[in-house]
Structure 1
Amino acid sequence: MRVEELEVSQFRNIERLNLACPGDLHLFIGANAQGKTNLLESLYVLALGKSHRARSHRELIRWNQPAARLAVRIRRGDRLHRLEVRLSERGKQVVRNGVEQRRLSEYIGTLVVVLFAPEDLDIVKGSPQVRRRFIDTEIGQISPAYVYHLTRYKQLVSQRNSLLKELSGRRQADAALLEVLDEQWIETAVPVWKKRFEFVRSLSERAGRIHRAISRGVEELKVLYAPSVDLDEKSSPETWKQQLRRELPRIREQEIRRGSTLLGPHRDDLRLIVNGFDLFAYGSQGQQRTAALALKLAEIELIHREIGHYPILLLDDVLSELDDHRKTHLLETIRDRVQTFVTATSLEGIGKETLERARIWRVEGGTFTELR
């Protein structure tokens, strides 16, 4: 998979940019708040139809402008694809090969990206929500069905929570409706759980191997999926459904009292274990950085296995966060396989061999000047 050309118009602080992207390594240098991350964000939005750091698409439109437009031409094997995202006060449009896509599940997956930024350390030390977003983003890019089920699941949780709040005042009147929502919730939650279990199992296998190499065989990493209800991963989906039908009535009064759905994929977590110890509670910063790097490199492998193409790698100011050993492992792993877009405040600390094969731009005030 290769990005061949990127067009950005009225996006963040970038007024207009047309970027040809031959080669595997593209390096963007500049001070903070000049637009480097905005360039990577544009590729992320083109891949997933949404930003990783903005709550509303309106935040992405350049100040005092009515609309923004992003477009990219990519090559997957011997096929060319063109994606376009149009943002305005009226809403957002996503277009693939000239045809507007009504659902994100029909759009996501043509351009696949892996973003690695300093805040990705939060995958290890942050909240469960951060870890859920991590797995949902990656699974969504390789499974349109997952996007559909997850979207439907979130809608049902919202409807169920609203009804639970109402039931605290008039329980009998809507009890039958809650039972209907329960069954719909179960039917949607189970495929989400199934796909997450599969993904985490594959992720753990690959991340463990990579982590051993980075730690020179000293540390063993395991990634475990931690559902909010005691599900046996080896059981069938039908067994899970039966278990949930028993579990929901047991916590009914508690859910009504709190007005909230108390179990399900929206309350699950990941556990990262190194040599038997939980990294969240006991890991050093170095161990946490190694685990985060191993997870990101494992993502690349897993995506390649699933879709037959390597994703585009977006490295947002992370080289300065890694020591020489981790940095070397990262660059050697992706070399000549993964097209990579890198941001950094300077060229300091980047090896001569890496610089010789990179295209380099200076970024200042949203303007991109090619240095070589």
Structure 2
Amino acid sequence: MIVEHLSLVDFRNYATAELTLHRGPNVLVGRNGQGKTNLAEAIVFLATLGSHRVSSDAPMVRDGHEAAIVRARLAHGPRKVLIEVQINRQGSNKARINGAPGRTADLPRYAHVVLFAPEDLQIVRGDPSARRRFADQLLIQRTPRMSAVLGDYDRVLRQRTALLKSARARGMKAEALPTLDVWDDKLIALGSEIIDARSRLAADLQPGLAAAYSAIAGEDHDPRLHWAQSIRGGDPEEGDALRPDQDAAAGSTAGSTADLFRTALAAKRSAELERGLTLVGPHRDDLVLRVRDLPVKGYASHGESWSIALALRLASAELLRAESPAGDPVLILDDVFAELDAERRRRLAGITAGYEQVLVTAAVEEDIPEVLHRHVVRVSAGTITDEREVRGGESTFGAQDSTESRQDAPQNEEVRPETPATTAADPADPAEPADPTEPAEPTNPAEKAEDDGQEVTDDRP
């Protein structure tokens, strides 16, 4: 899969913007704070329904406006598809697929993206919420219907926790809360599906993680990943969980995930009423990463931490590549090379250069390895300029096209938000996308669910 063209309206610092991309490496160069990462973030949102930078959608809408538009023309081999999302500051987001209204939950069926970013170090060194977010965004790309499951779980979790807080304030006992059992049933049904899906994901990532780590680090430190689950004892959210060997022993004799969940809820009922919190479920779990049989968090060196972070992303890309009929995922390397030593730069570039499309952003052009240094686009204060235009249109990457931002350019009605937008401050010249053909039939049918398109926040599973 490749992104042929990206259009933005009122997204971050862009009033309007147009960006044409090509097969193979594409490089966005500009000083920090100019808008490079905003372009990467827009593409990532189409694939994961969330941002790697913020936990809610509102910050992605330009100041003073109520909605932003992200539209992309994708190529899945010979087939084209035009996908679009309207990100609303308040209320549900809206989607269009080939010009027809669709569900935001369906967008990840068409857009497969793996992002490498400086924030990835927080997956390794940060709180459990960062690792849960990593896993859940990959789950959504792998099985788009999980977006609805995660959203439904979050809503049930909020309702159940509100009931517990109310009971605590009123001094009520568990037996005086018959409605709590109803919320327990819903929490168990949705939470068990999330726990099982995450467990399968970890197992499927393991072979790719080991191979990618060796390729990046040049050494075999036996990297492993393992879910510490609150339904099996302890509280992983607070750093208290069973060790992998204990968890494996418990799992060999335990019942189904739902049975474990129900038993754990019953055991924690008094503590939950005392604290006014839901203490059991996937929102309290942690993805434990280990190298040399030690937890990465707290024990790994800076270089080892970066190696495991990059290996997680590379393993994700290989998993999507193997499972998707649409071809390779788009790889986005957002200012990553500035964080790496020369050897890791070389190795990462060599691995990623073989993908159908790679988008690299950098503040310092010299940081980009030569194998990825092609099709350069410069970004400055929200103005996007294709370097080929500066050279008079000479290019080895196909027909000449203009990729730039220009003030007061007209907006295409098809991508205009429902809320009226004012004149652009950093706008762009809209480009007319080709009429897409009908996309390939999705491989994972979606279940009926509310179309809220929201990503799980830090306190979500």
If the length of structure 1 is used for normalisation, what is the TM-score? 0.92
Aligned-residue offset at 1:304 = 1.2
SS of match in other structure, 1:144? coil
Q: How far 1:234 moved relative to its partner?
A: 6.1
Q: How far did 1:53 drift?
A: 2.2
Q: Which amino acid aligns with 1:106?
A: D
Q: Distance in 2 between matches of 1:216 and 1:2?
A: 30
- Code of the aligned partner of 1:322: L
Matches within 5 A, 1:162-201: 162-168=162-168, 169=170, 170-171=172-173, 174-201=176-203
Instruction: Work out which of the residue numbers 368, 374, 383 in structure 2 matches 1:350.
Output: 368
Seen in structure 2, the aligned counterparts of structure 1 residues 307 and 250 have a Cα distance that, compared at 3 Å, is same
- SS of the aligned residue for 2:15 comes to strand
Equivalent residue of 1:369, what SS? strand
What are the superposed Cα offsets for residues 197-241 of structure 1, whole Å, 9 maximum, x if unpaired? 010111122111211233323422111111112266966996222
In the alignment, what sits opposite 2:282?
Answer: 265
- CA 1:127–1:251 in 2, change beyond 3 Å: closer, same or farther? same
Displacement of 1:292 in angstroms is: 0.5
Q: Tell me the residue number matched to 2:98.
A: 97
Distance 2:67 2:298 in 1: 45
Match of 1:369 among 373, 377, 385: 385
Matching of residues 230-245 of structure 1 within 5 Å: 230=232, 239-245=256-262
Contact 1:109–1:144, Cα closer than 8 Å, also in 2: yes
1:129 — aligned with what?
Answer: 129
By how many angstroms is 1:353 displaced? 4.0
CA distance in 1, matches of 2:26, 2:356: 11
Cα pair 1:70 1:86 within 8 Å, conserved: yes
Output the CA distance in 2 between the equivalents of 1:237 and 1:137: 29
Partner of 1:331: 349
The answer to whether the 8 Å contact 1:49/1:85 transfers is: no
Shift in Å at residue 69 of structure 1?
2.1
Report the secondary structure of 2:365's partner residue.
coil
2:322 alignment counterpart: 305
CA distance in 2, matches of 1:116, 1:90: 29
Distance 1:76 1:61 in 2: 29
SS in 2 for 1:250: helix
Matched with 2:340 is 322
Give the CA deviation at 1:289. 0.6
Contact 1:67/1:89 (CA < 8 Å) preserved in 2? yes
Q: List aligned pairs for 1:12-23, cutoff 5 A.
A: 12-23=12-23
Structure 1 pair 70/213, CA: closer, same or farther in 2 (3 Å)? closer
C-alpha distance in structure 2 between counterparts of 1:3 and 1:114, whole Å: 13
- The number of aligned residues is 369
- 1:241-252 mapped onto 2 (5 Å cutoff): 241-252=258-269
Displacement after TM superposition at 1:62 (Å):
2.8
Q: 1:49·1:94 contact (CA, 8 Å) conserved in 2?
A: no
Secondary structure of residue in 1 paired with 2:75: strand
Partners of 2:182 and 2:65 lie apart in 1 by: 46
Pick closer, same or farther for the CA change 1:13–1:360 going to 2, 3 Å. same
| CA distance in 1 between partners of 2:68 and 2:214 (Å) | 44
**Aligned counterpart for 2:215 among listed residues 213, 216, 219:** 213
Q: Closer, same or farther in 2 for the Cα pair 1:78/1:235, shift >3 Å?
A: farther
Q: 2: distance between equivalents of 1:68 and 1:183? A: 37
Work out which structure has the larger RCO, using CA pairs closer than 8 Å and 6 or more positions apart in sequence.
2
Q: Is the 8 A contact 2:196 2:257 kept in 1?
A: no
Q: Partner letter of residue 79 of structure 2?
A: R
How far has the Cα of 1:317 moved from its partner? Answer: 0.5
Q: Structure 2 vs 1, CA of residues 26 and 191 (structure 1 numbering), >3 Å: closer, same or farther?
A: same
Identify the residue that residue 68 of structure 2 maps to in structure 1. Answer: 68
Please state how far the C-alpha of 1:342 moved relative to its aligned partner: 0.9
C-alpha displacement at 1:109, in angstroms?
2.5
Task: Map residues 266-281 of structure 1 onto 2, 5 A cutoff.
Answer: 266-281=283-298
More divergent stretch after superposition (208-217 vs 184-193)? 208-217
CA RMSD, 1 decimal: 2.2
- Partners of 1:354 and 1:262 lie apart in 2 by 47
Q: Please tell me whether the aligned partners of residues 116 and 316 of structure 1 are also in contact (alpha carbons under 8 angstroms).
A: yes
Q: Supply the distance in 2 between the matched residues of 1:225 and 1:243 (Cα, whole angstroms).
A: 15
> Relative to 1, partners in 2 of residues 1:43 and 1:67: Cα closer, same or farther, differing over 3 Å?
same
Moved more, 150-159 or 105-114: 105-114
The offset of 1:114, in angstroms, is 1.1
Residues 80-89 or 50-59, more deviating = 50-59
Could you tell me which amino acid in structure 2 is paired with residue 203 of structure 1? Answer: L
Displacement, 1:125?
Answer: 0.4
Report the counterpart of residue 287 of structure 1 in structure 2.
Answer: 304
> Unaligned stretches of 5+ in structure 2?
233-246, 389-461
**Identical-residue share of aligned pairs (%):** 34
Gaps of 5+ in 1: none
8 A Cα contact 2:6 2:20, kept in partner = yes
For 1:140, the aligned partner's letter is I
Farther-moved stretch of structure 1 (19-28 vs 41-50): 41-50
Looking at secondary structure, tell me which structure has more helix per residue.
1
- Check conservation: 1:310, 1:338, Cα contact below 8 A: yes
Helix, strand or coil at the partner of 2:231: coil
Structure 1 partner of 2:111: 111
Using the TM superposition, name which of 180-189 and 55-64 deviates more.
55-64
- Which has the larger displacement, 89-98 or 73-82? 89-98
Inter-CA distance 87–216: structure 2 relative to 1 (3 Å threshold): closer
2:225 to 223, 226, 230: 223
Deviation readout 1:320-349 (Å, 9 max, x if unpaired): 111122112211112232411111012113
Q: 1:149 to 1:236 in 2, by over 3 A?
A: farther
